[in-house]
Structure 1
Amino acid sequence: MARRSKIASATLIAGALLLTSLGLGGIAASAGPPLPGSGAASSFAATRSGHSMAVSTASSPEDPDGDGYIPANPQVTGVTPSTKEPPHRYFHEFQATCAVTHTRPDDPIVYPGQPGKSHDHTFMGNTTTDANSTTATLDAGTTACRAPGDKSGYWMPTLYKGDRQVLPLGPQVIYYKAGVTDYTSVRPFPKGLRFVVGSPTQTALEFRSHRGFVEGWECGDSFFNVDFPTNCPNRADVQLNIRFQAPSCWDGKYLDTPDHRSHMAYPVVNPGTNNNICPAAHPVALPMIEFKMAFPVNGDLSQVRLASGPAWSFHYDFFNAWDAPTLQALVGHCVVGGLQCDARGYDQTHPEAGAALDANYELP
């Protein structure tokens, strides 16, 4: 495909995705509390520097021509979205528990090879992630994830209270779930797949209407918040939390696209069966990542902000560098197997199923 036609296609897709996020693309916006910042904040978000979501044009070792397209090798073709409904299992998931490693104003997906160009990010998982990270450098790095085979990079805008960074403490839970009804059709991520979930320039309405929105910002008994709660109970056991889900349907063609989104899509409802299936243009079912982050801050939250801007600018990035056999074992045992697994791939309610990994969180 010529670069001109590829970029034109990406522009059309990006426009469709924006309409979808606004609730105008056949997906109704969720009801919720009054939204802050629908006027001035929208203008602020559109002009905020440090992380625009413009089409990438920089070259990198994995994208030498700088057109933003990184083809999968091999591509996955001939897949039809599954409409099957396997035996009901309430869970089909496992956890990747990964600790914070460092902060840095880098983003190897949006600004590859351009250190310091992004707003500040909090990195988890791979200890080496920076602006120059590639699949090969992540493979060669080390990890703060419980499973040594997970060398993926996970990152999000750094949270501040005033001028002080507030970093999640200890392992954070990153769920890998089935986003489609036919959980037996889910396959592992291809090595090197990367994408951005949400946008630093989204408005409050776009954040609330986003397909990945689960419970928004929550603290104590306060849930479904688009903005940070003004106050949280000032107790040691209370933290500021957010849960946000990623798209889980892949086009099978690209590991990345210029807008870092168009190669991925959220499941759609099959009108014939009312099941969640992958759309025809993104037929490959992959694990659905869900960030569940906890920030050790409570009490007066009036000075809390994100490096990317207001609370509704929350977004995150994922760069897959799992050891392929390890990821295959966890997806096959836990997601396809319909279990609720911990980071070892063990389900306490189904001990007879065993675990995917050994006591050291490695393949047996």
Structure 2
Amino acid sequence: MKWNTLVAASGLFAPSTALLRFGCARLTVQRLDPLVNPGQIPSAHLHQIIGGNSFNVSMDIAKHDLPTLSTCTSCQFSEDFSNYWTAVLYFRARNGTFKRVPQIPQQGIESTQGGMMVYYMSDALFDTAQKSKVTAFKPGFRMLVGDSSYSSRDQARDYRQLTYTCMENSASRSPESIGFPKGPCKMAIMANHRFPTCWDGVNLDTPNHRDHVAYPEVGTFESGGRCPSTHPVKIPQILLETVWDTSKFNKKEDWPTDGSQPFVWSSGDSTGFSSHADYVFGWKGDSLQKAMDGHTYVSAPMLKTQSIAEQNKCIVPDMVKEPIDGWLPKLPGDVMVK
């Protein structure tokens, strides 16, 4: 799907300098993946999803207008009907059973049910100036970062900054690792999903949901690295932070006898290298562009907000009837651990 090629070629992209940081409550947790497995019920593995309630088993780019079809969103900004999703973390006990790891809402969104913290940035996370110019996404835009089939460090090099933080307390943000932390984390494991920040300016999507976006040619987004000539348009960096409460599973007697870490993604990955996330743009009208043009840092007075109670009310019915909680003899979908 292509956007207006002439507009892309003309360079008519509005300058923007802003950082948005906001919480989104859980919309649903079920085996659906309208990007990788459109129309398939159920999809291969379990996902946690946030955002607008038009999320469905099939979200055709030409027919599925999220702001029009959604009646609510689980995100703080009520004009954001986008959908964001990642795999789900499980604990594998020594006896071979599995239990879903609960999520911890971050400071400021403590009452949300599950969910994630979402960032849209034009510069490094804690750069309050946010001087760089970025272009907001266009209707129909979608992308995928990471690969659920990866299981090695070399494979994970394809995607920059998909990391984990072994949290000692709620302020922990470093150090970051590429694979799962090797030992127990006092508070939690935070999964960090950073999406590519360069766009080809033409395609809203590509068959693999990856080729229309790219990482900077040199350096990183945070260091101001330039975009490659094939993907000249700088877009906001989306960062998803999910805090998994692994503290409930820190008893060494429950861990594998060989000392290896016991956490697995719902995709069956026990290394952490398969970390991945999906994004479908769904901001209403030009609200995101206005926010990114607003020279704001975290707060966004030009956007409408809703209460956490309203966020928590926004849910999607369960379309896949299967147990995902309690102690399970196998991962949902009978996914094998690798």
Fold in common (TM above 0.5)? yes
The answer (yes or no) to whether the contact 2:78–2:304 under 8 Å persists in 1 is: no
Give the secondary-structure state (helix, strand or coil) at the position aligned to 1:196: strand
| Separation in structure 2 between the aligned mates of residue 209 and residue 125 of structure 1, nearest angstrom | 29
Give CA-to-partner distance per residue, 1:25-60, whole Å, 9 cap, x none.
Answer: xxxxxxxxxxxxxxxxxxxxxxxxxxxxxxxxxxxx
Unaligned runs of 5+ in 1: 1-69, 346-354
1:284 Cα deviation after fit: 1.4
1:256 Cα deviation after fit: 1.0
Tell me the residue number matched to 2:207.
258
For 1:305, the aligned partner's letter is V
Give CA-to-partner distance per residue, 1:74-100, whole Å, 9 cap, x none.
Answer: 764225699xxx9xxxx8411132112
| Separation in structure 2 between the aligned mates of residue 219 and residue 182 of structure 1, nearest angstrom | 27
Q: CA RMSD in A?
A: 3.2
Q: Which moved more, 1:244-253 or 1:296-305?
A: 296-305
Tell me the residue number matched to 2:9.
78
- Runs of at least 4 residues of structure 1 off by over 6 A? none
The answer (yes or no) to whether the contact 1:123–1:154 under 8 Å persists in 2 is: yes
| Equivalence map 1:233-272=2 (5 Å) | 233-234=185-186, 238-269=187-218
The answer (yes or no) to whether the contact 1:239–1:297 under 8 Å persists in 2 is: yes
Distance 1:264 1:110, change over 3 A: same
For 2:142, the aligned partner's letter is R
For 1:148, the aligned partner's letter is S
Distance 1:266 1:226, change over 3 A: closer
1:323 Cα deviation after fit: 0.8
For 1:113, the aligned partner's letter is G
Quick one: percent identity of the two aligned structures?
25
For 1:153, the aligned partner's letter is N
Give CA-to-partner distance per residue, 1:226-250, whole Å, 9 cap, x none.
Answer: 332344355xxx1210223111111
Equivalent residue in structure 2 for 1:216, among 138, 151, 164: 164
| Separation in structure 2 between the aligned mates of residue 79 and residue 267 of structure 1, nearest angstrom | 21
Distance 1:116 1:147, change over 3 A: same
Unaligned runs of 5+ in 2: 93-97, 105-111, 256-260, 308-338
Tell me the residue number matched to 1:195.
143
| Separation in structure 2 between the aligned mates of residue 358 and residue 250 of structure 1, nearest angstrom | 28
Tell me the residue number matched to 2:264.
305
For 2:20, the aligned partner's letter is F
Mapped pair 1:232 → 2:184? yes
1:191 Cα deviation after fit: 1.1
Distance 1:191 1:75, change over 3 A: farther
Give the secondary-structure state (helix, strand or coil) at the position aligned to 2:286: helix
For 2:101, the aligned partner's letter is V
Equivalent residue in structure 1 for 2:50, among 110, 124, 148: 124
1:120 Cα deviation after fit: 1.0
Equivalent residue in structure 1 for 2:292, among 309, 317, 331: 331
Tell me the residue number matched to 1:341.
298
1:109 Cα deviation after fit: 1.0
Q: TM-score under structure 2 normalisation?
A: 0.69
Going by fraction, where is helix more abundant, 1 or 2? 1
1:297 Cα deviation after fit: 1.8
| Separation in structure 1 between the aligned mates of residue 133 and residue 75 of structure 2, nearest angstrom | 26
For 2:3, the aligned partner's letter is A
Tell me the residue number matched to 2:88.
158
For 2:89, the aligned partner's letter is L
Question: Greater RCO between the two (CA within 8 Å, min separation 6)?
Answer: 2
The answer (yes or no) to whether the contact 1:115–1:130 under 8 Å persists in 2 is: no
Give the secondary-structure state (helix, strand or coil) at the position aligned to 1:254: coil
Distance 1:281 1:74, change over 3 A: closer
Q: Which moved more, 1:137-146 or 1:223-232?
A: 223-232
Count of aligned residue pairs for this structure pair: 265
